[in-house]
Amino acid sequence: MLWFRKNIPNLFTLMNLSLGVLGIHLILTSDPTVEPTIHYFIFAAAFFDLFDGLLARKLNVASQFGVQLDSLADLITFGVLPTFIYAQYVQLEGWGLLLLLVPICSAIRLAIFNTDNSQTTSFKGISTTAHGLFAAVLPIILYHQSTWFGEYLADNEMAIGVLALFFSFLMVSPVRMMSFKFENLRFIDNWDRILLILTSLILIILWQYDAAPYIMIIYIGLSFTSYFKGVSSNSEG
């Protein structure tokens, strides 16, 4: 019974990993003329990724084994799988080989996170999960092309490649990015998180999946604002 209780979080992590592998298989075998469904796999994997850590803490069974297993699963689901998503639109040859920076930077990002104790309430660089969620909705945005963003990217292989490289470098950037770990419930300490959540809900209600690029822009903008405000305050002090 103790063994089972100790491994419940690991089962969630392995579900994350399994969904990542199934997602890669789906990308490799899917019909490009059919509406993509890859976002369902990554959304479900993100759910398991969120709750494996929460369960480990609630059940008091957190371990280094679980931490390492979680990173290995995240590398597949939110590092390798997004690479295959981008590779649907950018050929993996010539300059397109730069897409390999997506899994490379994902691996570096996860290794940094595992060895850095300062990322408890914020991240250094964007998390692999956040990038994976954005990459997940890219195919459906490009499929429907119902916004200027989808229309522009649909006919612009270079722009998709630049987008992938931007997120690759952002993952290993020292810039502090917002996390959703609340230290307290005071508005003054969490205004940026609250603003992002409320704005995201409104945009999702209005535009569904098409809201993703705007949510990501707001997230990056708020994170950069908080980071540079903090850098400015420290330099003045």
153: domain CATH number is 1.20.120
Count of structural domains, the chain: 1
Q: Residue 64: exposed, middle, or buried by beta-carbon count in 10 A (0-12, 13-18, 19+)? A: exposed
Residue 212 counted as domain residue:
no
CA nearest neighbour of 71 among 98, 52, 44, 86: 52
Largest CA distance in the chain: 58
Residue 190 counted as domain residue:
no
Band (pLDDT 50/70/90 cuts) for residue 151 is very high
Residue 216 counted as domain residue:
no
Please, are residues 34 and 128 in contact by the beta-carbon 8 Å criterion? Answer: no
Please give the residue that has the higher pLDDT: either 185 or 159. Answer: 159
Q: What percent of the chain has pLDDT over 70?
A: 91
pTM listed for this prediction: 0.90
**How many CA atoms lie less than 13 Å away from 84 in the CB half-sphere?**
21
| Residue-wise pLDDT tens digits, 184-225 | 667 677 788 889 999 999 999 999 999 999 999 999 999 888
> Which residues on adjacent β-strands are paired with residue 177?
123
Residue 26 counted as domain residue:
yes
The H or E element that residue 190 is part of is helix 187-207
Please, are residues 67 and 114 in contact by the beta-carbon 8 Å criterion? Answer: yes
At 89 the pLDDT is: 95
Residue 202 counted as domain residue:
no
Question: Can you read off the two tokens belonging to residue 234?
Answer: 């420290």
Residue 224 counted as domain residue:
no
Band (pLDDT 50/70/90 cuts) for residue 54 is confident
Flag whether pLDDT at 118 surpasses 80: no
The range of the structural domain enclosing residue 152 comes to 2-184
Within 8 A by CB and 6+ apart from 218, the residues are 196, 199, 200
Show the 3-state SS of 94-157. Answer: HHHHHHHHHHHHHHHHHHHHHHCCCCCCEEECCCHHHHHHHHHHHHHHHHHCCCHHHHHHHCCH
